[in-house]
């Protein structure tokens, strides 16, 4: 499908809920910067309406869509093709429409890699601890393995879910530990990259682990929270003079990769970043 010469093409974000998303701000800024005609909007979609929504993407005026929770896994059943990366990640967050053929891809993995590189910190030989064992944790583990990290530990409240993640990502060598304070306290002195891939911490007063445990991290530790806002975890890490990174760089770079898949054009990342920062500031 050609973007140039088309006057009314559509893109959107499929999920439930989606009202909080700043993806339209960054995507539309990129489209306007390149003079491209598609518009990107929110497509709130309850689970009962997912099949119908995906079928609608086959319309000639639709370039594709992003997919967010809770549909990243369920959406695979309604697509014509799923890329090897999306299969390995166990999640589709980007759908590309190619002449009636719907292809599911995953841009979270390269987005997380690019987000880490933004820090300018050396990632070589870091030992990582990922909090959580869901889809986000799976993408993070894949990304870190791609970057060459060999020491990756998963901490999760449900041992069975952590084991399922390790099984799904074999032959990656993932270490599993409980997420109780004692196990975390024993692990953290050797950890130089702590990633919160859980939903805990979005609201003030929440944290994915007792914040006092951050005292155990080495001075060169980097604390990452996939939430694209400031959190109690990040604030506590900064108080301890640890390097921090929120989820906004990952959002920007996964969005830029999706932009390129839809349009075939290089994404104007700087423009998209400024739009995302402005959209986030307007909501805080």
Asked if the bond preceding 70 is cis, omega within 30° of 0, the reply is yes
Q: Under a CB-based contact definition with an 8 Å cutoff, are residues 135 and 89 in contact?
A: yes
Longest dimension (CA), the chain: 61
Q: Under a CB-based contact definition with an 8 Å cutoff, are residues 92 and 72 in contact?
A: yes
Q: What CA–CA distance (Å, rounded) separates 132 from 157?
A: 8
Q: How many CB atoms lie within 10 A of CB 70?
A: 16
CATH of the structural domain 10-106+250-283, one choice from 3.40.50.12500, 3.40.50.10860, 3.40.50.720, 3.80.30.20: 3.40.50.10860
Q: Beta strands 127-131 and 94-98: pairing type?
A: unpaired
Joined together, the tokens standing for residue 266 give 């290089």
Helix (H, G, I), strand (E, B) or coil at 209: coil
pLDDT (tens digit per residue) in 99-135: 999 999 999 999 999 999 999 999 989 999 999 999 8
83 band by pLDDT with thresholds 50, 70 and 90? very high
Q: Under a CB-based contact definition with an 8 Å cutoff, are residues 234 and 244 in contact?
A: yes
Q: What CA–CA distance (Å, rounded) separates 184 from 202?
A: 21
pTM equals 0.92
Tokens 């993932």 correspond to what residue?
174
Q: Per CATH, the architecture of 110-246 is what?
A: 3-Layer(aba) Sandwich (3.40)
8 band by pLDDT with thresholds 50, 70 and 90? confident
pLDDT of 142 > 90? The answer is: yes
List Cα–Cα distances, 148 to 6, 187, 249, in angstroms.
42, 20, 20
Query: Are domains 10-106+250-283 and 110-246 of this chain identical in fold?
Result: yes
pLDDT attached to residue 4: 53
Cβ neighbours of residue 203 under 8 Å, at least 6 residues apart? Answer: none
Catalytic residues: 72
CA 100 to centroid of chain Cα atoms:
27
Q: Beta strands 94-98 and 62-67: pairing type?
A: antiparallel
pLDDT attached to residue 277: 97
Tell me the percentage of the chain whose pLDDT exceeds 90.
89
Q: Under a CB-based contact definition with an 8 Å cutoff, are residues 91 and 138 in contact?
A: yes
Find residue 174's DSSP bridge partners. Answer: 152
b/e sequence 188-217, b meaning 16+ C-beta within 10 Å: beebbbbbbbbebbeeeeebbbeeebbeeb
Residue 71 class from Cβ within 10 Å (0-12 exposed, 13-18 middle, 19+ buried)? buried
The domain limits of the chain are: 10-106+250-283, 110-246
What mean pLDDT do residues 183-207 have? Answer: 95
pLDDT attached to residue 283: 85
Q: Within 13 Å, how many C-alpha atoms sit on residue 277's CB side?
A: 7
């Amino acid at each position: 499908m050609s973007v140039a010469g088309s006057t009314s093409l559509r893109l959107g974000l499929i999920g439930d809920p989606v009202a909080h998303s700043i993806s339209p701000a960054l995507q539309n800024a990129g489209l306007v910067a390149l003079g491209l005609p598609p518009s990107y909007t929110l497509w709130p979609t309850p689970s009962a309406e997912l099949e119908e929504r995906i079928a609608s993407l086959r319309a000639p005026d639709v370039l594709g869509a992003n997919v967010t929770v809770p549909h990243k896994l369920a959406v695979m059943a309604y697509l014509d093709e799923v890329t090897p990366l999306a299969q390995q990640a166990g999640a589709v967050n980007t759908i590309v429409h190619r002449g009636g053929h719907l292809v599911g891809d995953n841009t979270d993995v390269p987005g997380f890699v690019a987000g880490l590189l933004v820090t300018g910190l050396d990632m070589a030989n870091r030992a990582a601890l990922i909090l959580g064992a869901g889809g986000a944790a799976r993408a993070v583990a894949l990304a870190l393995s791609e970057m060459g990290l060999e020491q990756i530990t998963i901490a999760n409240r449900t041992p069975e879910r952590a084991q399922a993640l390790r099984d799904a990502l074999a032959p990656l060598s993932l270490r599993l530990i409980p997420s109780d304070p004692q196990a975390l306290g024993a692990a953290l002195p050797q950890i130089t990259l702590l990633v919160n891939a859980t939903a805990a911490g979005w609201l003030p007063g929440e944290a994915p682990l007792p914040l006092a445990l951050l005292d155990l991290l080495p001075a060169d530790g980097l604390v990452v929270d996939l939430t694209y806002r400031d959190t109690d975890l990040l604030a506590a890490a900064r108080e301890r003079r640890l390097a921090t990174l929120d989820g906004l760089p990952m959002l920007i770079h996964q969005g830029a990769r999706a932009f390129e898949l839809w349009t075939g054009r290089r994404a104007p990342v700087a423009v998209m970043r400024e739009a995302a920062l402005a959209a986030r500031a307007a909501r805080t």
